[in-house]
Amino acid sequence: MPGVDSRLLNIADLRARARRRLPKGLFEFIERGAEDDRAILNNRTAFEAFMLRPKVLRNVSGRSLACNILGRPSVMPLVMAPTGAAGLMWHDGEIALAKAAAAAGVPFTLSTASLTSIERIAASAPGRLWFQLYMWPDRTMSHDLVKRVQAAGFEALMVTLDTAVAPNRECNVRNGFMLPFRLNRRNALDIALHAPWLVSVILRYMLTTGMPRFENFPEVLQRSMTAAPKGRSALPKNDALTWDDLRTLRQIWNGPLIVKGILHPDDAHEAVSCGADAVVVSNHGGRNLDASIPPLFALPDIVERIGHRAEVFMDGGVMRGSDVIKALALGARAVLVGRAPLWGVAVAGQAGAARALEILAEESLRVLGQLGCSRVDELGTDFLWTGPGATGAGGARCIASGQRHGGIAGTTALHNTTSP
């Protein structure tokens, strides 16, 4: 891809290059999770609990990743996940991500905690735009933000529900990467050692628009990332949210409504009953509850519970196209990717983010054909194996009731670890 080092062959290569370019505190803000990082590790280990079992002589010459997401055609079953402060990875990083998603033919989700305004994204990127919403204690602030999103022409609203209590991200505290951001000897030296990033991102902001701030926060809460709060915290507080809040959003928002942060089938059922059109099976990328179940293990029960009534997406731990295929085989309609395009944009802006999506698409299409499938709707649990050689026993249990819904073909049960 033009503008990207041809030696960057996979997502791990992009990650390694991003690690060299970004200050440690910023890289670990993306990379790390809560407490002991067990949830991040478990998200990856969950994919290793499944191996793929191909079928042969099936004529895969017409392979395609094309699918429908929220009733509209998509080039592939990927969605760019919401990621806060992406504009620190690259100058105008959110715009670069949105343009890369549009060029790839997949939806882009703008975070409430973005550094670029809703209106500027809408004017800059022609593709499918979704918005991720956090709720403030003063609900009118959030409802006014939803009206801005609707006026800007965004397609879908994604409400994050898994942040009732602030996570314990110890690495951010150690690195000084908190709000407001404060320089100390450790992070000042770290930033100074990454002069290309400092000049091309922070200095460029300072010479144009000033110190970055969260452009979509209510005006009364807006401040630069280095300014102390005045009176009340600008960060959304969610510990008083109830299902009634979701019902109210359903009344306010006219388009597709997605809820993110679902791991329990009962919650998935309740969300759909409140009017959600889709759910994202997610543990916030391993960044909130460190002891949480991996989304991949939670996915089949949720698909079985609501897959005939709503679309089911998942995120967390995706590094390879084979990970995407495994999630689809377990019932996901699409997979959200966050860190992969962030590493890409940190390396080479829009071209780097596009390269991340290109890598995942190429790998997914290759694995699809290697399994003996031409279309993603041919995938199912009969292509998965959790027998001897797979890592852990969680895979066998989590797909015992795995059935495909929502336009995906029904499948046979997977062999468990006691199968011959």
| pLDDT tens track for 310-324 | 999 999 999 999 999
Count of C-beta atoms within a 10 Å radius of residue 7: 7
Determine which of 58-67, 157-166, 268-277 has the lowest per-residue pLDDT on average.
157-166
Amino acid identity of 42? N
Averaged pLDDT for residues 65-86? 98
Looking at residue 25, its pLDDT comes to 92
Averaged pLDDT for residues 354-374? 99
Looking at residue 206, its pLDDT comes to 95
pLDDT exceeds 80 at position 137: yes
pLDDT exceeds 60 at position 306: yes
Amino acid identity of 20? R
pLDDT exceeds 90 at position 22: yes
201 backbone dihedrals φ, ψ, rounded to 5°: -110, -70
Sequence spans of domains, the chain: 11-169+234-398
Provide DSSP, 128-189.
-EEEEE---SSHHHHHHHHHHHHHTT-SEEEEE-S-SS----HHHHHHT--SS----HHHHH
Looking at residue 229, its pLDDT comes to 58
The pLDDT-based confidence of 204 (bands split at 50, 70, 90) is: very high
Name the more confident of 415 and 274: 274
| pLDDT tens track for 89-106 | 999 999 999 999 999 999
> What distance in Å separates the CA atoms of residue 319 and residue 323, rounded to the nearest whole number?
7
User: Would you please indicate which residues are annotated as catalytic (active-site) residues?
Assistant: 284
pLDDT exceeds 80 at position 419: no
pLDDT exceeds 50 at position 205: yes
What CATH class is the domain 11-169+234-398? Answer: alpha beta
Determine which of 33-37, 40-44, 258-262, 276-280 has the lowest per-residue pLDDT on average.
33-37
Determine which of 185-189, 216-220, 231-235, 367-371 has the lowest per-residue pLDDT on average.
231-235
> What distance in Å separates the CA atoms of residue 274 and residue 164, rounded to the nearest whole number?
19
> What distance in Å separates the CA atoms of residue 260 and residue 272, rounded to the nearest whole number?
12
Q: Between helices 295-306 and 321-329, what is the axis angle to 10°?
A: 30
| pLDDT tens track for 148-203 | 999 999 999 999 999 888 888 988 888 888 777 777 888 889 999 999 999 999 99
Strands 257-262 and 278-281: parallel
Looking at residue 96, its pLDDT comes to 98
